[in-house]
Amino acid sequence: MISLKKLFTPVQSINADETKTLIAGQTEGAYTLLDVRQPGEYESEHIPGAKLIPLPDLKDGYSQLDSLKPVIVYCRSGSRSLAAAQLLSGLGFNEIYNLQGGINGFVRILHGYS
């Protein structure tokens, strides 16, 4: 059941540097890295360890995720992931982060671009 109040509660957005720090500070499996892009986008490039559930499939596919673990959601630039984070919040997930700038911003940080 979707909680309408939580659906409209702002979720926390974090930038690429904060995401890199968050991932580095946790053991693998302690969080979920969720890619909500389409399969072709994922195949082209994704953050290692990311689980793919395209945004249109998330309402049915969210049960594949552990609602007790922090979830870092990303897309190409941050718009779809924000919608996905809001949906997960409405579905009862408590610790959700939207990656601002999406994979585009994350890749720039990994390769040392500003």
Is residue 36 a contact partner of residue 49, using CB atoms and an 8 Å limit?
Answer: no
Point out the catalytic residue in the list 47, 58, 75, 88. 75
Q: How far apart are CA 54 and CA 3, in angstroms?
A: 21
Q: How far apart are CA 48 and CA 93, in angstroms?
A: 23
Is 40 labeled as catalytic in the residue annotation?
no
Reading the block at residue 74, the tokens are 């990303």
Active-site annotation, residues: 75
